[in-house]
Structure 1
Amino acid sequence: MSPSDSQLNSTHLLRFIFDRLKTFIAIGIGAAVLSSIVALMMEEQFKSTVVMFATPQHSIGEQFYEEIKRNDLLEYGETEDAERLLQILNSDRIRMRIIQKYDLWVHYDIDQSQPGAQALLGKEYNSNVDAGLTRYGSIEVNVYDRNPQQAADMANDIAFLADSVANRLRNDRAGEAMGYASSSLQQVQQEITAMEDELGQLYGLGVYDFATQIEGLNEQYATAIAKGFPGNAEKIRKQMAEISNYANQFNKLSNLIEAAYEREAILKKRFELMKLDAETQMPSAFVVDYAAPADKKSKPIRWLIVVMSVASTMVFALLAMLAAENLKDSSVV
């Protein structure tokens, strides 16, 4: 298309609009009146926002019982921590507790007995409650409601419930691990008790420390022989022979019980670590800004609704008139 053709088309379009200017004005006024009425009928909603940073979900017990600490509980969480917290904020656990606490069935005027009531409530909740990541790595929880105080209360409760749910999940997971550690610890302690009983029987037979006892008896035996006391030497030899009968059993038990004591110490440490994780409540986020009741409505933006409605109506009317004009010209030809 040449520039001259484009100019002719633009001129034709302007001429077309000018010839029907009164019609366009009437349509614009009508659209403005109707959209204004609709905008005025729309319910005002107030927005409250909570801003928070996720914390890293590290083991608390590790900070107390491990000599080398790989993580810092006071640092800010990474993107993965924020995404995990965001999943909790958008979870059904929090949604159902908010719905129950604020009786949103009544607040949103939804009949629970009607078909699709749950889906309708979920849609209404999602349109008024939103949680998302910001470009700064923080999380914003936005709540819209016709009551500014309720919007602020709901936003703050959602942040509080995120802590509660995150702690519950962590405590439950640590509780299971603590149960495994406890059963393993009890098993090792039972093994130690059994070995201590066997060693006690050997102590009763006079076997206390085989290597030390044999070394001492050898010295006594050599001394008795050297000093010419064959009777004493024979007694010592019999005593060594009697002790030697329990040598393998004593040495085996000594090695096993030493290893068992080491395992017991490790399992005790793990048990205490898991117990601390299972019983301790730690914040899942640093709240930067708590929600406060808004003193100005957030939506609807009535002037924008009117402007967009008038503009879209005018464009639609222009396209409809152009189509009608083209059909008219085609029928004439």
Structure 2
Amino acid sequence: MAESSYSLLGLWPVINRWKKLVLAAVVLAALLSTVVALLLPNIYRSTAVFFPTNPESTDPDRLVDGGKLELGGRSEDLDRIITIGQSQPAAELLIKEFDLYKHYEAGAPGDDASENAVLYQFNSNLSIVHNERDAIELTFEDKDKELAARMANRLVQVIDSINQQLTLENRRNVLGLYKLRFDFLQNEFEQSRRQLVRARRRYGIYGIEEQGRYMAREVITLESKLRQAEGSGNAAQAAGARRALQGLTGPGGTNTINLERFVQGNDSMNLFQARLEDLQERLVKARGDYETADLTLRGKISSLYLVQKAYPATRKSKPVRWLIVVGSVIVTLAVSVVLITLLELYQRSRRGLRQDGAAEPAVAAGS
């Protein structure tokens, strides 16, 4: 016995027989979906767009060496920002700040059910995605368009703050190293300066080049006077010139400025002077590095480049009410057709079984 075939055209008689029931179901679905669509609140969407920066580029040790802030785009930077934005600490901070327990009607805080409900609603309204231009789009949805914009902007600030905290401790350690180096060089400079002053007093050297010219001129002058006195036979004048020359050049000379002490202290003075100049240059640089790093740390350089802040939406993003009504009508019609088709098939199979059952006794009686 060949099986019965079915087609879409064969459904029309079935629908026609059940048209009143199908029409009633469709009308009821249209009415109910209209009521539901009208009762649904308008949802507004606000979006902030920003680029992350590499946190290493904001460290003082790189900035003082001429480093520049680097625009984000690395996968690790993007993943880090998205992870921070979706973290529970960031969510709890905004929930408490904007009193979302009351706004979402989740109940009093402290209860597990309330905590789960408000976190679920918050995460449902939040969207953080990496777009095709390597930027991050942070979107927040809410019935209150002003609140949606404020929460989106506030979450961007929270992400920036948490992202800075990740490297803040290291930056403070770097600042401490700059301070330690500056203090060390300042102490070394002061000690070297005192050593130089003591050496000047010990050797009587206060200006190497000037004193060298003075002593050479005096030695030449005294020797000339000594030779003239000896030539003229003036013993007293010769003896005075000789004593003056001995005081200026002799090892036991009593002059404050003595040639032997000058020669002895010349090397030490040169060493102390070179050491002091080197420490002075390093000290000036260390002080500048420390001040720059301190200003950098106090300035709290943002780790995000904000391209577009979130603004209150000018129109709702959902619900699309006509789509809800049309979708409900189409689904109801499809379900109704499937049900009446199954019912028709069931009734047809029942009638076939009854006819087969009545034919068997008739055949038996004829035999």
Give TM-score scaled by structure 2 length.
0.64
1:197 and 2:191 matched: no
2:203–2:265 CA contact under 8 A, matched in 1: no
Distance in 2 between residues matched to 1:180 and 1:63, nearest whole Å: 14
| Deviation of 1:195 (Å) | 1.7
For 2:93, the aligned partner's letter is R
1:49–1:140 CA contact under 8 A, matched in 2: no
Map 1:81-120 → 2, pairs under 5 A:
83=78, 89-90=85-86, 92=88, 94-111=90-107, 112-115=109-112, 117-120=114-117
- Please, which of 249, 268, 274 is the counterpart of residue 236 of structure 1? 249
Matched position secondary structure for 1:263:
helix
Map 1:188-227 → 2, pairs under 5 A:
188-208=185-205, 212=209, 216=213, 219=216, 223=220
Map 1:265-280 → 2, pairs under 5 A:
265-280=284-299
1:132 corresponding residue in structure 2: 129
The aligned length equals: 316
Distance in 2 between residues matched to 1:278 and 1:25, nearest whole Å: 72
Distance in 2 between residues matched to 1:208 and 1:96, nearest whole Å: 72
Matched position secondary structure for 1:189:
helix
Unaligned runs of 5+ in 1: 1-7
Distance in 2 between residues matched to 1:113 and 1:16, nearest whole Å: 61
Superposition RMSD on alpha carbons, in Å? Answer: 4.7
1:45–1:144 CA contact under 8 A, matched in 2: no
Distance in 1 between residues matched to 2:296 and 2:324, nearest whole Å: 53
Question: Over residues 20-55 of structure 1, what are the superposed CA-to-partner deviations in whole Å (9 max), with x where a residue is unaligned?
Answer: 42376666556555555554554x143142444437
For 1:304, the aligned partner's letter is L
2:305 corresponding residue in structure 1: 285
Matched position secondary structure for 2:308:
strand
For 1:145, the aligned partner's letter is D
| Deviation of 1:281 (Å) | 5.2
| Deviation of 1:127 (Å) | 1.1
| Between 44-53 and 157-166, the greater mean CA deviation after superposition | 157-166
1:305 and 2:360 matched: no
Unaligned runs of 5+ in 2: 228-240, 252-257, 354-367
2:138 corresponding residue in structure 1: 141
For 1:272, the aligned partner's letter is E
Question: Over residues 132-178 of structure 1, what are the superposed CA-to-partner deviations in whole Å (9 max), with x where a residue is unaligned?
Answer: 34445554432222223322332343345556556676776644432
2:174 corresponding residue in structure 1: 177
Distance in 1 between residues matched to 2:92 and 2:173, nearest whole Å: 26
| Deviation of 1:85 (Å) | 5.5
1:5 corresponding residue in structure 2: none
1:263 corresponding residue in structure 2: 282
1:60–1:276 CA contact under 8 A, matched in 2: no
Matched position secondary structure for 1:13:
coil
Question: Over residues 217-257 of structure 1, what are the superposed CA-to-partner deviations in whole Å (9 max), with x where a residue is unaligned?
Answer: 88469736676566515742424444555566544433333
1:50–1:140 CA contact under 8 A, matched in 2: yes
Relative to 1, partners in 2 of residues 1:101 and 1:248: Cα closer, same or farther, differing over 3 Å? same
1:12 and 2:6 matched: yes
| Deviation of 1:104 (Å) | 0.6
2:37–2:324 CA contact under 8 A, matched in 1: yes
Give TM-score scaled by structure 1 length.
0.69
1:79 and 2:73 matched: yes
| Deviation of 1:107 (Å) | 1.4
Distance in 2 between residues matched to 1:207 and 1:230, nearest whole Å: 22
Relative to 1, partners in 2 of residues 1:181 and 1:65: Cα closer, same or farther, differing over 3 Å? closer
Distance in 2 between residues matched to 1:116 and 1:145, nearest whole Å: 21
Relative to 1, partners in 2 of residues 1:253 and 1:64: Cα closer, same or farther, differing over 3 Å? same
1:221–1:236 CA contact under 8 A, matched in 2: no
